C-alpha cells in the first residue's frame, strides 16, 4: 500500500531514513496486522475492515459511529454518540436478564456478564466470526444492515390536548431509532440463549443474520412491525 507509507513519512520526517525503511519493509510484506500505528489500518477484532462499510439509510448515517477501533472501548468516559456502534452492542449485552416479563416470565441469569466487558467483547467477537462463516460477508456490514432493518419509524404515546388525552402516533428521531434497535438486537440474544443449548454468541449471530434479511422470525423485526402497526391504527 504505497499511500499509507507516504502518510507515515509525512507524519514523522524527523526519523532517520534507515529506521523508517526498517519499519516499512516488514509492513509491506505482511498483511496489515498492526493495531496502533495508523488509525485507518485498525481492524475490528484484528480481522474485519471498517473501510468498505456503507450505511444505506441516510437518516441513521449520522448517528452510527464507525471510527476504526480494533477493540472498541471508551471506558465510560464519554457519551453514547462518541462510542463505536459495536461497543454500544456490547454495553447492551452486559445484563443479568430481562428487566420485565417476556413470554410470561422474567428471565434472570446468574449475573455472569454484569460489568464484564472483556467477556462480552469475546462473545461479540465469536458471534461476528459465526456470521462471517455463515454469510461470507463482513459481519460489521451485516450488523449495520440489521440495525437499519430493526429501527422503527413510528410509535405511540399519550398526548393531551385540552384536558383529554389521546393515543397519538408519533415519529421517532434517528437517535432514538438507533437506541431502540441496538437494544432489541441485544435483548433477543439474551432471550434466545436462556435455558437453551445455544450460547449467547450463537443466539446473537442468529439474530443478526435474521434481522439483516428482514426476516419476521427475528425478535427485533417483530418488535418493529408491532410498534408500527399499533401506531398506524392510532393515527
Partner 1 sequence: MAADQPEKPQAPAPAAQVQGQQKAEKPFDGFLAQVVEVVKGRTGIYGEVRQIMAKIMEGQDKGRVIRRNIAGRIKVGDYVRLPDTTREAKQIRVR
Instruction: Tell me the closest approach of the beta carbon of residue 41 to partner 1, in angstroms.
Output: 19
154 φ, ψ (degrees, to nearest 5): -145, 145
Instruction: Tell me the closest approach of the beta carbon of residue 184 to partner 1, in angstroms.
Output: 15
Which residues contact partner 1 (rule: CB under 8 A)?
Answer: 54-62, 148, 153-155, 157-162, 165, 168-177, 179, 228, 231-232, 235
Which residue's CB is nearer to partner 1, number 16 or number 162?
A: 162
Which residue's CB is nearer to partner 1, number 61 or number 102?
A: 61
Which cell goes with 154?
413510528
Give start and end residues of each alpha helix (H) in 12-73. 17-29, 58-61
How many CB atoms neighbour CB 85 within 10 A?
20
Instruction: Tell me the closest approach of the beta carbon of residue 76 to partner 1, in angstroms.
Output: 20
Which residue's CB is nearer to partner 1, number 37 or number 179?
A: 179
Instruction: Tell me the closest approach of the beta carbon of residue 216 to partner 1, in angstroms.
Output: 15
Residue in 229, 111, 98, 115 with CA at minimum distance from that of residue 169 = 229
* Burial class of 63 by CB neighbour count within 10 A (0 to 12, 13 to 18, 19+): middle
Which residue's CB is nearer to partner 1, number 68 or number 96?
A: 68
Instruction: Tell me the closest approach of the beta carbon of residue 215 to partner 1, in angstroms.
Output: 13
The b-or-e profile of 12-29 (16+ CB within 10 A means b, else e) is eeeeeeeeeeeeeeebee
Which residue's CB is nearer to partner 1, number 180 or number 205?
A: 180
Amino acid at each position: 500500500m504505497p499511500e499509507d507509507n507516504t502518510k507515515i513519512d509525512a507524519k514523522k520526517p524527523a526519523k532517520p531514513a534507515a529506521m523508517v525503511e526498517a519499519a516499512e519493509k516488514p509492513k509491506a510484506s505482511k498483511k496489515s496486522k498492526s493495531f496502533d500505528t495508523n488509525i485507518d489500518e485498525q481492524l475490528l477484532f484484528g480481522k474485519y475492515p471498517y473501510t468498505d462499510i456503507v450505511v444505506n439509510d441516510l437518516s441513521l448515517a449520522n448517528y452510527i459511529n464507525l471510527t476504526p477501533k480494533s477493540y472498541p472501548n471508551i471506558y465510560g468516559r464519554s457519551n453514547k454518540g462518541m462510542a463505536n456502534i459495536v461497543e454500544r452492542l456490547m454495553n447492551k449485552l452486559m445484563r443479568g436478564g430481562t428487566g420485565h416479563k417476556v413470554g410470561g416470565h422474567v428471565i434472570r441469569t446468574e449475573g455472569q456478564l454484569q460489568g464484564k466487558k472483556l467477556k462480552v467483547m469475546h462473545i461479540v467477537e465469536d458471534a461476528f466470526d459465526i456470521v462471517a462463516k455463515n454469510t461470507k460477508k463482513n459481519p460489521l456490514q451485516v450488523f449495520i444492515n440489521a440495525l437499519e432493518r430493526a429501527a422503527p419509524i413510528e410509535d405511540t404515546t399519550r398526548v393531551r390536548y385540552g384536558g383529554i388525552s389521546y393515543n397519538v402516533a408519533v415519529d421517532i428521531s434517528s437517535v432514538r431509532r438507533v437506541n431502540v434497535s441496538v437494544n432489541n438486537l441485544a435483548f433477543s440474544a439474551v432471550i434466545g440463549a436462556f435455558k437453551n443449548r445455544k450460547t449467547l454468541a450463537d443466539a446473537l449471530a442468529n439474530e443478526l443474520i435474521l434481522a439483516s434479511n428482514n426476516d419476521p422470525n427475528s425478535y427485533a423485526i417483530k418488535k418493529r412491525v408491532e410498534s408500527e402497526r399499533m401506531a398506524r391504527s392510532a393515527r
